[in-house]
């Protein structure tokens, strides 16, 4: 009885102050929302295969749940706080599909002996240790205390690796609307600092459950401690070789990816508003679960096909492992934030979309589930290093 009253006092004010929110979502997901959820929503606009709908704030959790569990991530969706932001995203996606693939400049793969030598220094053990550390947090949820701490740990780790370098800075990006920061490490280019290469992945994780995901356990060893550990190893090896690039390189650990690419969306949008010349973006999200005999799959939707071909050449020349192409079918990770802001992006992935780690977003996403080693991720650290160095010419 008592409980009922507590519930009512919680629910009544929520209903009274129900706010509107906007979602851009794959058209194919609309029937599921209509049929499975008993909620009201309004169609506002559409472009290509994306629909913009207006919903009540209180239904967001329900929609999120549907997308993750029932719909098995087959229709990308992004939340927007304002209608104008939603409209902008919708139509920039449309513009992108018109101007598709004309952005990547094209670089030469030089088959450089020094690069080959540097790649031999990638350490499985160091990657494994970073994965183990990051997956020891209860979760890295964008609104939990441990989620804030985990991203601060990344900042500290990256600062420690680069403290001796006056051309490197590590910053925490304050997202204002939530507590977990994104982290950006910048190596300032010595000749063309205005040209920027971005290598990123998300630092947050998310667990299972319906309500209160901020409390559920989410080690996120593969999704995405593996990507952050891959990036951390790239930084370490560049530092060990006193590498100073001609062009600027930015390494990013994004906050709040798991709740709709929020951190990367803000960062990529700011870069575009400031008219920054981002010449290539690589996303590392899930690098340590081997799905089949091929080691790397290049995701070929929401990415730049010319840059993907360049990545493929880098794999053949430097990593020398079998690779293929695969598709997410929706805006499945932060590369999509860059693509929708007009920048060329690639997403080298651990497996095919269907063959990927099935334990993500649960307490079973541990390193043990990736055979207790970081061998698979080594390939991605090599690819990231080759990319950072070959884009310099």
**Which residues are marked as active site?**
202, 223, 257-258, 285, 361
Nearer to ligand BES, 51 or 285 (CB): 285
Q: How far is the CB of 114 from ligand BES (least distance, A)?
A: 33
Residue 353 binding partner per list Zn ion, ligand BES, none, with a CB distance cut-off of 5 to 8 Å that depends on partner kind: ligand BES
- 3-state SS assignment for residue 142: coil
Run of H or E including 33: helix 30-36
The least CB distance from residue 234 to ligand BES, in Å, is 19
Burial class for 87, CB neighbours closer than 10 Å (0-12, 13-18, 19+): middle
Phi, psi dihedrals of residue 249, rounded to the nearest 5°: -115, 130
User: Does residue number 59 form part of the binding site for Zn ion (CB under 5 A)?
Assistant: no
Token look-up 């929609």 returns 63
Among 353, 381, 387, 388, binds ligand BES (CB under 6 A): 353
The binder of 73, among ligand BES, Zn ion, none, by C-beta within 5 to 8 A per type, is ligand BES
**Residue 336 buriedness (CB in 10 A; 0-12 / 13-18 / 19+):** buried
Decide: is 285 part of the binding site for ligand BES (CB under 6 A).
yes
Residue 260 is encoded by which pair of tokens?
A: 């709709």
Least separation in angstroms between CB 100 and Zn ion: 26
Nearest CB to ligand BES, comparing residues 264 and 304: 264
* Contact (Cβ atoms closer than 8 angstroms) between residue 341 and residue 269: yes
Q: Which residue in the shown chain puts its C-beta closest to Zn ion? A: 223
**Stretch of 122-130, 150-158, 290-298, 327-335 lying at the interface with ligand BES (CB under 6 A):** 327-335
Q: Which of residues 51, 233, 258, 365 is near ligand BES by CB under 6 A?
A: 258
**# of chain residues touching Zn ion (CB under 5 A):** 2
286, interface contact from ligand BES, Zn ion, none, CB < 5-8 Å by kind: ligand BES
Does residue 260 interact with ligand BES by CB under 6 A? Answer: yes
Query: How crowded is residue 62: how many other Cβ atoms within 10 Å of its Cβ?
Result: 17
User: Closest approach of Cβ 336 to ligand BES, in Å?
Assistant: 8
Q: Long-range contacts: 41-45, Cβ < 8 Å, 24+?
A: 44/83, 44/86, 44/87, 45/87, 45/90
Residue 147's binding partner out of ligand BES, Zn ion, none, with CB under 5 to 8 Å set by partner kind: none
Q: Given the rule CB under 6 A, which of 23-31, 44-52, 328-336, 337-345 is the region that contacts ligand BES?
A: 328-336
Strand partners, 16: none
Q: Restricting to residues 61-80, name those near ligand BES by CB under 6 A.
A: 68, 73, 76
Strand partners, 346: 282
Q: Pick from 257, 266, 301, 365: which binds ligand BES (CB under 6 A)?
A: 257
Find the shortest distance in angstroms from Cβ 286 to Zn ion. Answer: 8
Alpha helices, DSSP H, located in 305-372: 305-314, 335-340
Q: Does 334 bind Zn ion (CB under 5 A)?
A: no
Which residues of the chain form beta strands (DSSP E)?
A: 20-26, 41-47, 50-56, 77-80, 168-173, 182-187, 192-202, 247-254, 277-283, 296-299, 323-326, 345-346, 348-349
Kindly state whether residue 333 participates in binding ligand BES, applying the rule CB under 6 A. Answer: yes
Burial (Cβ within 10 Å: 0-12, 13-18, ≥19) of residue 31 = exposed
Instruction: Give 219 or 245: the residue with its C-beta nearer to Zn ion.
Output: 219
Residue 223 in the binding site for Zn ion (CB under 5 A): yes
Tokens of 193: 């600092």
Q: How far is the CB of 73 from ligand BES (least distance, A)?
A: 4
The alpha-carbon radius of gyration of the chain (Å, integer) is 21
Residue 142 beta carbon to ligand BES: minimum distance, rounded to whole angstroms: 11
- Other Cβ atoms closer than 10 A to 39: 15
Which residues on adjacent β-strands are paired with residue 46? 51
Residue (258 or 334) nearer to Zn ion, CB? 258
Check binding of 365 to ligand BES (CB under 6 A): no
Residues making contact with ligand BES (CB under 6 A): 68, 73, 76, 223-224, 257-258, 260-261, 285-286, 328, 331-333, 353, 356
Residues making contact with Zn ion (CB under 5 A): 223, 258
């Amino acid at each position: 009885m008592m409980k009922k009253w507590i519930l009512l006092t919680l629910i009544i004010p929520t209903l009274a102050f129900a706010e509107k929110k906007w979602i851009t979502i794959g058209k194919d997901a609309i029937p599921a929302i209509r049929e499975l959820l008993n909620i009201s929503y309004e169609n506002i606009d559409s472009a290509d295969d994306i629909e913009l709908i207006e919903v009540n704030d209180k239904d967001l959790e329900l929609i999120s749940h549907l997308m993750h569990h029932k719909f098995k991530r087959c229709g990308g969706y992004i939340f927007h706080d304002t209608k104008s932001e939603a409209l902008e995203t919708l139509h920039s996606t449309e513009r992108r599909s018109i101007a598709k693939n004309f952005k990547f400049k094209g670089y030469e793969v030089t088959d450089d002996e020094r690069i080959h030598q540097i790649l031999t220094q990638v350490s499985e053990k160091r990657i494994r240790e970073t994965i183990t550390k990051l997956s020891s947090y209860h979760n890295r949820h964008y609104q939990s205390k441990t989620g804030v701490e985990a991203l601060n740990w990344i900042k500290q780790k990256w600062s420690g690796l680069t403290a001796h370098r006056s051309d490197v800075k590590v910053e925490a990006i304050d997202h204002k609307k939530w507590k977990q920061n994104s982290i950006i490490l910048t190596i300032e280019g010595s000749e063309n600092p205005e040209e920027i290469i971005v290598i990123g992945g998300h630092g947050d994780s998310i667990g299972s459950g319906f309500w209160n995901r901020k409390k559920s356990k989410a080690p996120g060893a593969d999704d995405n401690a593996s990507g952050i550990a891959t990036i951390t190893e790239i930084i370490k090896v560049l530092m060990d070789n006193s590498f100073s690039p001609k062009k600027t390189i930015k390494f990013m650990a994004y906050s709040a990816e798991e709740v709709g690419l929020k951190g990367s969306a803000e960062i990529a949008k700011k870069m575009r508003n400031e008219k920054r010349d981002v010449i290539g973006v690589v996303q590392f999200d899930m690098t340590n679960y081997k799905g089949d005999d091929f080691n790397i799959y290049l995701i070929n939707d929401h990415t730049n096909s010319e840059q993907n071909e360049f990545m493929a050449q880098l794999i053949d020349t430097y990593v020398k492992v079998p690779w293929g192409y695969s598709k997410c079918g929706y805006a499945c990770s932060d590369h999509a934030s860059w693509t929708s802001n007009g920048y060329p992006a690639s997403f080298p992935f651990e497996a095919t979309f269907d063959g990927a780690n099935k334990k993500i977003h649960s307490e079973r996403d541990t390193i043990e589930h990736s055979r207790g080693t970081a061998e698979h991720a080594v390939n991605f650290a090599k690819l990231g290093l080759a990319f950072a160095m070959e884009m310099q010419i």
